[in-house]
């Protein structure tokens, strides 16, 4: 099993030392070998440091690009949210304005309808008052004229021989005069003094006084005595007739003028009422039309507001997801940057320490003194260097052997090359180096475990976030695709409906035009037929009359002739008198009567046919007009719905394109995460790797405890 992660430098030292091929003949001193290993460490550490710099540079680039992309997406979402919120506010405000305008129109409609009814009631009252007043004027004028005519006749001013009854100047009948007197007395328009003057006339007239009621006679006598106390009743009658006639004449003219003025005023009121009603009707028609338009516009605005709210919810959710992702990414990138700085600092210090070690080892104090005082080892092919053998012999102790045996068995048990290699090194390395090597290896394994745990956590978070984003965007793509399919199907269905209803309207117009043409032609033909039938009837009737007259005269003429002719007749004649062909069965007159009856039947049948055809045509036109109006309404509705659906389809396709781009970006990021976070097929699973490392650490800690239980002699 391969060891994952960077190997501790001290471990590399021991492994490289142990990896020397004892079959190769090399002449090298122990110090030179250590210096060489330290130089190799610098080379390797430098390479790893540079590789880590490159790796972090790429990661930094990823952080910057992804952060900028998310910030741009958040900014775009914020702008879209502001736009949608503004649109929603505008839609709802406009809908509220329309609602207020509709309410105002309802108030105006109620007011105008109320005004229409109230002005109609007022007009009816005015007209009723006018009719009553005019009737009073007419009755009063008639009564005055009747009374005037009666007084003039009684005073001898008018001849009574020739005028027709009821004409002016003629003495009205007693009943008419009495009715006129009573009408004058009951009239509210005639002044009291006129009533008394007329009553006075009747009181002084012996022939008229009988029509006065007792109370009236008393008032009249008092009036006459007050006015003319010294004159006799006869003189009073003669002296007052001219004044009464003049009074009645003037009053009749006055009432006639007032009645004419009343008629003119009534006509003016009626015209004003008609104009006012027309204004009310125009206002109501305009208000109804405007209210319907505003209701439609309000419904459209509320639908737009609902659609915008749905878009706002989706955009807000997307923005919140992006903000969370950006925050997590920023925290992770900052954490990685901090860890990178620490690692780079540690690597630099490590390289500096190794360089100092090389400098020290290369100096005279170590290298010179080593060459001067220590035995120099010569590795001979096929033999182990005596010094290393002796050094190994000196370093060996029971605890070290026990640890080597324990690590070797654990290496086999865990299938750990690391523990197996370490067991081999423990056999030959000094005791102190062994303990330090084990400690360093434990620390390194713990650091690797911590780093891998952090990396696993970051991967889990990134994969979960990415999976959530991909799932949501995939669902959005599926949902938007389904919406597009539904909208396209709806547009296609509405297009078919529009096309079908347009075709139906055209066919209906054609049918109406054809039916109108047929009806016009049929009507003209029937008119000609009826006229011809009537003309035929008249002609046949005239012909029958001529023949009947002829046969009647011929019969008489023949009969007279037969009495005068000689008895002997030509052999070709019958003995009976000739009465014409009209008397024969199936004669011409009978045939003509049949023809006349046919003409009569033709006229009747044609009229019935014309009436039926006209009725059917009128019903067809009514049904066609209703059907056409409904189809035109359907056409308008479907056309508007189609336009709305087409607009929604364009917007949904735009949303799908944007969502698809976001899904593609999430898929691309997922593909970028896979090499870093998802193990390849056949690789050791994360849980097994963690368990193995844990057991290796526990094995090393146990080995360290064994080693720490021994003292170095």
In this predicted structure, what is the pLDDT of residue 353?
79
**Could you tell me which residue, 204 or 611, shows the higher pLDDT?**
611
Q: How confident is the model at residue 681 (pLDDT cuts 50, 70, 90)?
A: low
In this predicted structure, what is the pLDDT of residue 642?
87
Average pLDDT over residues 63-80: 89
Q: Rounded mean pLDDT of the chain? A: 75
Q: What's the domain count of the chain? A: 2
Cα 594–597–599 angle (5° rounding)? 115
Asked if residue 553 is part of any domain, the answer here is yes
Candidate from 10-14, 345-349, 396-400, 694-698 with smallest mean pLDDT = 10-14
In this predicted structure, what is the pLDDT of residue 587?
55
Domain hosting residue 150, numbered range: 132-306
Task: Give 515-576 as a DSSP string.
Answer: HHHHHHHHHHHHHHHHHHHHHHHHHHHHHHHHHHHHHHHHHHHHHHHHHHS-S---TTS-SS
596-606 pLDDT, tens digit per residue, is: 787 788 888 88
564-605 pLDDT, tens digit per residue, is: 433 343 443 344 554 444 444 345 566 667 777 877 888 888
Asked if residue 366 is part of any domain, the answer here is no
In this predicted structure, what is the pLDDT of residue 510?
92
Residue 470, domain CATH: 1.10.287.950
pLDDT over 90 for what percent of the chain? Answer: 22
Residue 392 has pLDDT above 80, yes or no: no
267-310 pLDDT, tens digit per residue, is: 999 999 999 999 989 999 999 999 999 999 999 999 999 999 99
- Burial-class residue 585 by CB neighbours within 10 Å (0-12, 13-18, 19+): exposed
In this predicted structure, what is the pLDDT of residue 560?
42
Structure tokens at 636: 């308008």
Candidate from 126-135, 168-177, 371-380 with smallest mean pLDDT = 371-380
Q: How confident is the model at residue 28 (pLDDT cuts 50, 70, 90)?
A: low
Structure tokens at 54: 């490159």
Task: Give 126-155 as a DSSP string.
Answer: HHHHHHHHHHHHHHHHHHHHHHHHHHHHHT
Residue 554 has pLDDT above 60, yes or no: no
pTM above 0.75, yes or no: no
Give Cα separations from 548 to 535, 554, 578, 588, 597 (angstroms): 20, 9, 15, 11, 17
Q: How confident is the model at residue 540 (pLDDT cuts 50, 70, 90)?
A: confident
Give Cα separations from 639 to 75, 300, 493, 505, 642 (angstroms): 38, 15, 11, 14, 5
Q: How confident is the model at residue 222 (pLDDT cuts 50, 70, 90)?
A: low
Residue at which a domain ends, from 271, 291, 306: 306
Taking the C-alpha atoms of residue 242 and residue 201, their distance in angstroms, rounded to an integer, is 10
Give the CA dihedral 174, 179, 183, 184, nearest 10 degrees.
10
Give which of 132, 135, 703, 136 is closest to 438, Cα–Cα.
703
Highest mean pLDDT among 161-170, 353-362, 437-446, 614-623: 614-623
Average pLDDT over residues 128-150: 85
Q: Which residues contact 129 (CB under 8 A, 6 or more apart)?
A: none
Asked if residue 271 is part of any domain, the answer here is yes
In this predicted structure, what is the pLDDT of residue 355?
77
Asked if residue 606 is part of any domain, the answer here is yes
Cα 661–667–671 angle (5° rounding)? 145
Residue 225 has pLDDT above 70, yes or no: no
Candidate from 76-80, 200-204, 503-507 with smallest mean pLDDT = 200-204
- Burial-class residue 166 by CB neighbours within 10 Å (0-12, 13-18, 19+): exposed
Cβ-contact 244, 149 below 8 angstroms? no
Average pLDDT over residues 646-655: 91
Candidate from 319-328, 421-430, 624-633 with smallest mean pLDDT = 421-430
Residue 455 has pLDDT above 90, yes or no: no
- Burial-class residue 393 by CB neighbours within 10 Å (0-12, 13-18, 19+): exposed
Structure tokens at 603: 């006229």
**Could you tell me which residue, 220 or 514, shows the higher pLDDT?**
514
Taking the C-alpha atoms of residue 163 and residue 170, their distance in angstroms, rounded to an integer, is 6
Give which of 444, 418, 442 is closest to 18, Cα–Cα.
418
Residue 165 has pLDDT above 90, yes or no: no
**Could you tell me which residue, 372 or 57, shows the higher pLDDT?**
57
Average pLDDT over residues 655-677: 86
Residue at which a domain ends, from 306, 336, 361: 306
Asked if residue 102 is part of any domain, the answer here is no
Asked if residue 643 is part of any domain, the answer here is yes
237-257 pLDDT, tens digit per residue, is: 454 567 777 888 888 888 899
Taking the C-alpha atoms of residue 531 and residue 525, their distance in angstroms, rounded to an integer, is 10
In this predicted structure, what is the pLDDT of residue 242?
74
**Could you tell me which residue, 180 or 44, shows the higher pLDDT?**
44
Q: Is the dihedral of CA 53, 442, 22, 26 positive or negative?
A: positive
**Could you tell me which residue, 432 or 689, shows the higher pLDDT?**
689
In this predicted structure, what is the pLDDT of residue 398?
62
Taking the C-alpha atoms of residue 211 and residue 178, their distance in angstroms, rounded to an integer, is 6
Residue 472 has pLDDT above 60, yes or no: yes
Asked if residue 272 is part of any domain, the answer here is yes
Average pLDDT over residues 452-459: 80
Other C-beta atoms within 10 Å of 396: how many?
17
Taking the C-alpha atoms of residue 667 and residue 661, their distance in angstroms, rounded to an integer, is 10
Q: Is the dihedral of CA 234, 239, 245, 247 positive or negative?
A: negative
Q: How confident is the model at residue 443 (pLDDT cuts 50, 70, 90)?
A: confident
Residue at which a domain ends, from 306, 331, 358: 306
Residue 563 has pLDDT above 60, yes or no: no
Helix (H/G/I), strand (E/B), else coil: 156: coil
Cβ-contact 609, 560 below 8 angstroms? no
**Could you tell me which residue, 623 or 419, shows the higher pLDDT?**
623
Helix (H/G/I), strand (E/B), else coil: 469: helix
In this predicted structure, what is the pLDDT of residue 7?
40
Other C-beta atoms within 10 Å of 106: how many?
12
**Could you tell me which residue, 602 or 420, shows the higher pLDDT?**
602
Asked if residue 624 is part of any domain, the answer here is yes
In this predicted structure, what is the pLDDT of residue 227?
47
Taking the C-alpha atoms of residue 49 and residue 38, their distance in angstroms, rounded to an integer, is 16
């Amino acid at each position: 099993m391969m060891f994952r992660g960077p190997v501790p430098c001290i471990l590399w030292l021991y492994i490289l030392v142990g990896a020397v091929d004892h079959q190769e003949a090399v002449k090298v001193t122990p110090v030179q070998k250590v210096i060489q290993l330290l130089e190799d460490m610098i080379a390797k550490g430098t390479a790893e440091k540079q590789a880590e710099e490159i790796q972090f540079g790429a990661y930094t680039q990823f952080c910057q690009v992804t952060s900028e992309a998310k910030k741009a997406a958040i900014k775009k979402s914020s702008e879209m949210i502001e736009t949608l919120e503004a649109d929603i506010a505008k839609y709802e405000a406009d809908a509220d304005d329309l609602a207020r305008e509709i309410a105002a129109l309802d108030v105006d409609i109620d007011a105008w309808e109320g005004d229409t009814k109230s002005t109609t009631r007022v007009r009816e009252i005015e007209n009723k008052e006018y009719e009553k007043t005019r009737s009073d004027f007419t009755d009063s004028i008639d009564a005055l004229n009747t009374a005037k005519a009666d007084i003039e006749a009684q005073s001898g001013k008018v001849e009574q021989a020739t005028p027709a009854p009821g004409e002016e100047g003629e003495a009205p009948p007693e009943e008419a005069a009495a009715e006129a007197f009573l009408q004058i007395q009951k009239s509210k328009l005639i002044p009291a003094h006129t009533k008394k003057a007329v009553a006075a006339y009747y009181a002084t007239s012996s022939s008229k006084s009988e029509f006065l009621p007792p109370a009236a006679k008393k008032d009249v006598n008092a009036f006459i005595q007050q006015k003319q106390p010294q004159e006799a009743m006869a003189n009073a009658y003669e002296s007052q007739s001219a004044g009464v006639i003049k009074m009645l004449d003037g009053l009749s003219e006055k009432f006639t003028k007032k009645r004419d003025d009343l008629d003119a005023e009534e006509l003016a009121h009626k015209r004003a009422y008609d104009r006012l009603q027309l204004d009310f009707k125009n206002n109501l028609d305009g208000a109804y039309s405007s209210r319907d338009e505003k209701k439609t516009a309000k419904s459209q605005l509320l639908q737009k507001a609902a659609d915008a709210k749905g878009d706002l919810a989706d955009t807000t959710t997307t923005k919140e997801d992006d903000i969370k992702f950006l925050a997590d990414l920023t925290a992770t990138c900052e954490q990685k940057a901090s860890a990178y700085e620490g690692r780079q600092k540690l690597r630099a210090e490590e390289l500096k320490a190794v360089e100092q070690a090389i400098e020290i080892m290369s100096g005279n104090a170590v290298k010179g003194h080593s060459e001067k005082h220590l035995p120099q080892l010569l590795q001979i092919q096929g033999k182990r260097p005596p010094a290393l053998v002796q050094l190994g012999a000196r370093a060996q102790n029971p605890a070290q052997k026990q640890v080597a045996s324990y690590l070797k068995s654990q290496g086999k048990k865990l299938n750990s090359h690391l523990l197996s290699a370490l067991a081999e090194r423990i056999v030959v390395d000094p005791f102190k180096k062994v303990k330090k090597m084990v400690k360093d290896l434990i620390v390194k394994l713990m650091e690797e475990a911590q780093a891998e745990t952090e990396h696993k956590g970051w991967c889990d978070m990134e994969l979960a976030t990415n999976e959530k984003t991909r799932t949501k965007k995939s669902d959005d793509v599926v949902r938007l695709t389904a919406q597009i399919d539904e909208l396209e199907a709806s547009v296609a269905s509405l297009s078919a409906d529009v096309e079908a209803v347009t075709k139906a309207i055209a066919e209906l117009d054609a049918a109406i035009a054809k039916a109108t043409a047929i009806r016009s032609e049929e009507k003209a033909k029937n008119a000609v037929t009826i006229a011809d039938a009537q003309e035929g009837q008249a002609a046949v009737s005239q012909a029958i009359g001529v023949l009947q007259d002829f046969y009647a005269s011929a019969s008489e003429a023949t009969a007279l002739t037969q009495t005068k002719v000689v008895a002997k007749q030509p052999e070709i004649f019958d003995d009976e008198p000739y009465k014409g062909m009209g008397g024969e069965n199936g004669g011409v007159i009978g045939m003509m009567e049949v023809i006349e009856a046919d003409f009569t039947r033709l006229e009747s049948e044609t009229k019935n046919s014309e009436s039926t055809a006209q009725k059917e045509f009128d019903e067809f036109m009514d049904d066609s007009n209703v059907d056409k109006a409904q189809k035109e309404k359907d056409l308008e509705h479907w056309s508007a719905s189609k336009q709305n659906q087409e607009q929604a389809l364009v917007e949904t396709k735009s949303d799908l394109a944007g969502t698809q781009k976001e899904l593609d970006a999430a898929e691309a990021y997922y593909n970028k995460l896979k090499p870093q976070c998802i193990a390849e097929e056949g690789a050791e699973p994360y849980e097994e790797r963690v368990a193995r490392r844990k057991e290796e650490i526990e094995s090393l800690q146990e080995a360290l405890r064994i080693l720490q239980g021994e003292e170095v002699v």
